[in-house]
Amino acid sequence: MYKVLLVDPNVQSREHTLRMLDWSQSGFVIQDFADNSADALTFIDKQKFSLILLNIKRLQSDGLQLCGLIRQISRVPIILIGGDHDFNLARQALTYQVSDYLADPALPDDLAASLQSVKWELDGKTLQDAFILPALKRKRRSQSSIIDVVKKYVKEELHRNVSLKKISDELHFNCAYLGQKFKSEENMTFNEYLLQQRMEKAKRLLEQTDMRIYEIAGEVGYTEIDWFYKKFKEYTGASANEYRKQILVTA
Of all residues in the chain, the percent with pLDDT exceeding 90 is: 34
What rounded mean pLDDT belongs to the chain?
A: 82
3 state SS of 143? coil
What pLDDT score was predicted for residue 126?
39
pTM exceeding 0.75: no
Report phi then psi at 4, rounded to 5: -120, 140
Residue 81's DSSP bridge partners are: 55, 102
What pLDDT score was predicted for residue 131?
44
**pLDDT tens-digit series, residues 147-188:** 877 888 898 889 888 999 888 877 667 788 788 888 888 899
What pLDDT score was predicted for residue 145?
58
- Banded model confidence at residue 88, pLDDT cuts 50, 70, 90: low
Average pLDDT over residues 229-245: 93
Higher-pLDDT residue of 244 and 134 is 244
Average pLDDT over residues 208-212: 92
Which candidate, 245, 148, 246, 243, places its Cα nearest to that of 199? 243
Sign of CA dihedral 63, 64, 68, 73: positive
Amino acid identity for residue 5 in this structure: L
Which candidate, 131, 121, 74, places its Cα nearest to that of 100? 121
**pLDDT tens-digit series, residues 28-82:** 999 999 988 888 999 988 888 999 999 888 776 788 888 888 888 888 999 988 7
Q: Which stretch of DSSP H or E encloses residue 29?
A: strand 28-34
CA 122 to chain centre: 19
